[in-house]
Amino acid sequence: MGSKMAFARHQTFHFREGWLTKGLRKIEEQPNVFMAKDGMEQLGIGSNMVKALRYWLVATNLTYETTGGNKEQKLTDVGRAIYKSDKYLEEEFTLWLIHFQLATNKEVATAWYWFFNVFKHKEFDEDLFINELEFWINEQENDAKEVSRGSLKRDFDCIISTYCVQKTNGSSPEDNLMCPLQELGLIELVDTKRKRYRFTRRKVEQIDKELFLYAILKFMDSNGHKKDIDLDVLLSAEGSIGRIFVLGVTELIQVLEMLQVSGFLRLNKTAGLNQVTIIQESDPISIIKEYYYQIGANQDE
């Protein structure tokens, strides 16, 4: 049995400001709202946008859909933590967390997963993106039927709209709403004429260290690591923080040193080991809940 893949399920729409909040709220009120006949009226958006929002809630792993008789959507642990503590996505931590959820969702957001975890070029255009993705798909043992270049182009356009700030002249106000993840500054347009883009790096000290700890623990859980992991694996393996957050080795070591100072882990660089040992073992979701609890407590003071 091959791995599942999904392409161009977003109806060409990136998720707009307020969409995820609206979706989570409506699901809390009525878990089957996206399957209901009056879903468009309840959500206040067109039929294609309803399909797109339903997709994005699952692609960002904020919700999951039940199978069987009465199909419903339910909030995941991360979806519930965000809805409870930062439902309007005001914290940059929340945006990074949503990015992590999206870029690690290989089955539902396959192009996003490939782009951040497999694609090796730092500068690129549409043709390079599509050619490389097409080659990778053909190499995989997967259940997907042949994927058209049109679908891959739609994913390219949507990834750019997700992360790269662009001037738009949409025909409706909805068209001009940006995706919240553009605030992360992960992709920039470097050649307007040839439409070339590149990955950009953020100063890691500006990003909450709890986010990196959560991502490391999730990665270790999903890959069968117990307490120890090599630095090279954290830098370049699929699903690693180096890949997901576009870190070079200098930034990765900076992140690990921040977490070491906080007592979460130990970085061993002696005798060419370059190994990381987790000191404080935690359930990853508890890191998220504790972060939101702390910022809530600070806001109350």
Same domain assignment for residues 163 and 296: no
The per-residue pLDDT for range 273-294, each reduced to its tens digit, is 789 999 988 899 999 999 999 9
Write the pLDDT tens digit of every residue in 223-251: 777 788 999 999 999 999 999 999 999 99
Do residues 32 and 176 share a domain? Answer: yes
Domain final residue, candidates 199, 231, 256: 199
Residue 171: pLDDT band with limits 50, 70, 90: very low
Say yes or no: 172 and 53 in one domain.
yes
Confirm if 182 and 163 have CB atoms less than 8 A apart.
yes
- Which among 199, 215, 239 is the end of a domain? 199
Q: Residue 250: exposed, middle, or buried by beta-carbon count in 10 A (0-12, 13-18, 19+)?
A: exposed
Q: Phi and psi at residue 53, in whole multiples of 5°?
A: -65, -40
Q: Exposed, middle or buried, 228 (CB in 10 Å: 0-12/13-18/19+)? A: middle
Q: 177 with 225, same domain?
A: no
Work out how many domains the chain is built from and give that number.
2
pLDDT confidence of 35, banded at 50, 70, 90? confident
pTM of the predicted model as reported, rounded to 2 decimal places: 0.93
- In this structure, the answer to whether residues 169 and 213 fall within a common structural domain is no
**115 and 190 assigned to the same domain:** yes
Domain interval for residue 252: 207-300
In this structure, is residue 14 part of a structural domain? no
Same domain, 56 and 159: yes
Q: Is residue 141 part of a domain?
A: yes
Domain at 255, CATH number: 1.10.10
Determine, yes or no, domain membership for 108: yes
Residues 130 and 264 in one domain: no
Same domain (yes/no): 113, 214: no
Q: Are residues 169 and 223 in the same domain?
A: no
Q: Do 180 and 84 share a domain, yes or no?
A: yes
What ranges make up the beta strands (E) of 59-131? 63-65, 73-75, 123-124
The reply to whether 290 and 153 lie within a common domain is: no
Of 199, 230, 262, which residue constitutes the final position of a domain?
199
